Structure 1
Amino acid sequence: MTLNYKHILVAVDGSKEAEWAFKKSVGIAKRNNATLNLVNIIDTRSFAAVEAYDRSIADRAHKFADQLLSDYRKEAEAAGVRDVNLVVEYGSPKTMIPRDISKKVEADLIVCGATGLNAVERFLIGSISETIVRSAKCDVLVVRTEELPGEEPIAE
C-alpha cells in the first residue's frame, strides 16, 4: 500500500531542524505532486511583555517570517514543487498548527523539526512537535536528522 499525500504542511521557525524538515518535505511534495504549505506561527507569548516597551517587535517578527517563507518558496519551486502556499499567523504554534492551520490547508501530512528555537519552553512544558504528534488529526513526520547530500528521503 502506497500512501499518497496531497496537502503537506511544514512548520518552519528559522531553526536548523526546521530547515531539515523543510528539505525533506520538498522531496515528499515532489514525489506526491502535492501542495506544500509553508507555515510560520509568530508566538505572541514570547514577545508580549517586551512589546509593551517596543511596538515594532511584532512588525519585525512578521517581516522575518515573510522573508523566511519567501526564501523557502523560491527553493521549493526551484526544486520542482509546483504549488507552494505561505501562511503566517500569530498565536501559539502548539495549538494553531495541529488544529487551525492543518484544517485550513486540509493537511494530510504535517512535517516539523524535532526541536525548534525555544529550548526554555521545551524544557518547561514540552516541545511543539510533541504536542503536534499528540493532537494532529493527520500523519506527522518529526524530522530529527539532516538529509545527506544525494540521499532521498524515505517517506512516501
Structure 2
Amino acid sequence: MMLKQYKHIQVAVDGSKEAKIAFAKAVEVAKRNKAELEIVHVIDTRAFQDISSFDSEMVEQVTKDVKERIKGYYQEAKDAGIENVNYNIEYGSPKNILAHKFPEEHNIDLIIIGATGLNAVERILIGSITEYVTRTADCDVLVIREPAAQTEDIKNNKENNK
C-alpha cells in the first residue's frame, strides 16, 4: 500500500502552546511530503461583537499582534527549508473557516491542529474547535497531542520530592 502524499497542508496557529507544537509537527510533515504549507490564524470577530462599541482600533491592534506572530511562524518554516509557505489571517468563525472555508479555497488535503487545552475553559474553547474540525472536515485531520506537558509534570514532581 502506498502512503498518501500530502501536497497542501493547513496548520492553525493561535498563540497557544498547543498551536506551537502543532506548527512544529506541520513543518516536519510538510518537509517530508515536500508540500505547500498554509499557516492560518482566525481572528474570531464574534468575540468583538460583545463589546458595546465595535472598536475598529481594537481589531487593528489584534490584527497587528497576530501579523507579528504569524510572520515569525512563516520565517521559521522558511528557515526549516520549506519552499512553499504562506501565512493567512482570516476573520470570522474559527470552526467554519478551519474546517471548511479555508481548506476548500486552498485545496487542503491535510489539516494539522493542536489538541485540547488541559483546563475546562480551554477544553471548551479550543477543544470544541478541534473536535468540530476533526468531525466535519472533508480531508484528513492530524491532531497533535502534547507529551511535553506530562514529562514536565513528572520532572517537576521529581524536583519537588528531592
Same fold (TM over 0.5): yes
Does residue 88 of the first structure (1) align with residue 89 of the second (2)?
yes
Instruction: Output the amino acid matched with 1:62.
Output: T
8 A contact 1:122–1:128 mirrored in 2: no
1:129 Cα offset (Å) = 0.4
CA distance in 1, matches of 2:75, 2:92: 26
Task: Look up the match of 1:140.
Answer: 141
Number of residues paired by the alignment?
146
8 A contact 1:121–1:127 mirrored in 2: no
Task: Look up the match of 1:130.
Answer: 131
CA distance in 2, matches of 1:50, 1:39: 25
CA distance in 2, matches of 1:43, 1:119: 20
Q: TM-score, normalised by structure 1?
A: 0.85
CA distance in 2, matches of 1:127, 1:7: 24
Query: Alignment partner of 1:142: what SS?
Result: strand
Instruction: Output the amino acid matched with 2:3.
Output: T
Change in CA separation of 1:70 and 1:51 when aligned onto 2, cut-off 3 Å: farther
Instruction: Output the amino acid matched with 1:83.
Output: N
* Aligned sequence identity (%): 49
Cα-to-partner distance string for 1:102-142 (whole Å, 9 max, x where unaligned): 111110000011136x9647438951000001110000001
1:48 Cα offset (Å) = 1.8
Change in CA separation of 1:10 and 1:126 when aligned onto 2, cut-off 3 Å: closer
1:47 Cα offset (Å) = 2.1
Cα-to-partner distance string for 1:66-118 (whole Å, 9 max, x where unaligned): 111100010001011111011111101011111100111110000011136x9
In the TM superposition, structure 1's runs of 4+ consecutive aligned residues that sit over 2 Å from their partners are 118-126
Q: After superposition, where does 1:38-49 map in structure 2 within 5 Å?
A: 38-49=39-50
Query: Alignment partner of 2:14: what SS?
Result: coil
Task: Look up the match of 1:78.
Answer: 79
The structure carrying a bigger helix percent of its residues is: 2
Does residue 4 of the first structure (1) align with residue 5 of the second (2)?
yes
**Structure 1, unaligned stretches of length 5 or more?**
148-156
